[in-house]
Structure 1
Amino acid sequence: MYFVDRSVAIIKPRQPFLDWLTSVAGDDMVDLTLDNLRADCTALLVPEYDEPEEAVAWVDERAEQLFRQELASWHEDEAAWPADRSLMVFWQWFDVEFHSLVLDSVDEPIENSPALDA
Structure 2
Amino acid sequence: MLNRAAIIIKYKQPAVDWINDADPYDTPGISIESVNSESHVYLIDHDDAEVLDDWIKLNYEALFFDELMGWYTDESLWPKKRTLSLFKKWFHIECHTIILDTVGTPIVSEEI
Q: TM-score, normalised by structure 2?
A: 0.90
2:86 is equivalent to residue 86 of structure 1: no
Aligned amino acid, residue 46 of structure 1:
I
| Whole-angstrom CA distance in 1 between matches of 2:60 and 2:30 | 25
One of 20, 28, 37 as aligned partner of 1:22:
20
After TM superposition, the structure 1 = structure 2 runs for residues 1-118 of structure 1, keeping only pairs within 5 Å, are: 3-25=1-23, 26-28=25-27, 30-49=28-47, 52=50, 54-115=51-112
| Whole-angstrom CA distance in 2 between matches of 1:50 and 1:75 | 29
Q: Between the two proteins, what is the percent identity of the paired residues? A: 31
Stretches of 4+ moved more than 3 A in 1? Answer: 49-52
1:102 to 1:77, Cα distance in 2 relative to 1, 3 A:
same
Unpaired runs of at least 5, structure 2: none
- The DSSP-based 3-state class of the residue aligned with 2:47 is coil
Unpaired runs of at least 5, structure 1: none
What's the CA shift for 1:32? 1.5
| Whole-angstrom CA distance in 1 between matches of 2:54 and 2:17 | 27
Determine if contact 1:14/1:93 at 8 Å carries over to the other structure. Answer: yes
What's the CA shift for 1:49? 3.2
Aligned amino acid, residue 39 of structure 1:
S
Q: CA RMSD in A?
A: 1.6
Instruction: Count matched residues.
Output: 111
Q: TM-score, normalised by structure 1?
A: 0.86
Determine if contact 2:5/2:45 at 8 Å carries over to the other structure. Answer: yes
Deviations 1:84-114 (A, max 9, x none): 1111111011000011111111122112123
What's the CA shift for 1:31? 4.1
Aligned amino acid, residue 26 of structure 2:
D
